[in-house]
A and B are shown apart, each in its own frame.
Chain A
């Protein structure tokens, strides 16, 4: 028995249950706007997801930072930075960066796509598993900011004029946008839709 079937609306913010029959527009406890489900959840999530896919390409092909060391200038892409770490025998850190900057964004993009397809085509399958997948996607998103923060610290610390300098590259804006857009996409997806079409 869902709250929807009983004519109750749960406030998104404070959890208070209001009665649909009274057609309240705002939650009486916290004043937040009431909706039975997040409005236009699938459309918003799809739009954000497509933008993320588009930005994922420049994020991976352009250099994310330019490192100058003793007069030698090198440009690193995300993947290049990981390979450089492997070459220096820093395997654990390389794996950490690989997970945060390559695997997490990619799995997030694919995961949200699958969730949208599941809701759109009403696939009948274990809804609990889908909900778990949604939770993992919503939880891990922020950890992709790792690369951006690392660059911010390197830019701050490595600033010794011509001797040694780190400059952020164009891919950093694209990558940051992918992280933010996929976080918004996960937030705009309403997990209750997974259960609504379930028999």
Chain B
């Protein structure tokens, strides 16, 4: 999404995701310390809100401090800045929270449903529902609001938009805020699902998210969703039927082959008008 608007691969996105997980943990511990009898769903909402708010601010700060000053510099500068930011956030979290993996208490009751021989946990249902809701909301925002229209316009031509009186700086900042808040939500769900979080977790996630976006067609929201699903399925099936050692090889091989034949990704975007 950020790439779509400013043509910048935000390598620090994975780190924002990781910060989101840590923020959710902090809120969770703080709330449990103050009031012990909070129902789990309320706790979950509080954590989600705290993490999204915090990361939204972080996203705005990243855009303002790190990216805006070099927006008109060559693209390589922005890329290097992004990598630097990613190191900065990783090590800042390591110094703040310590290097050991943190345990994320499982607040969601472990309810299991058996549907035709497949076990589904309440956790998984919550992950599905919240991701689907966020994706639909994002699609609606981008496609049918004035702000979304401004975002799409900025993505097409930044200078022309500025000339037409669209506050491009604000639009880009809002894009960062939304993207970061979504990353925070993802980070929280990730932490809750696996039960452990580490300051290093954002790295692989950032790469996987980027891959999914490329897979689906970059700058295309349904595409990223489909890309993520396909990538996850490929990895799981690869690990289950072939060998877990070849899991990543398998997933990325498919990506290479796909891009060879369809360079714009599964749900290809109109890259042409940018070339």
Q: Verify that A and B bind, or say they do not.
A: no
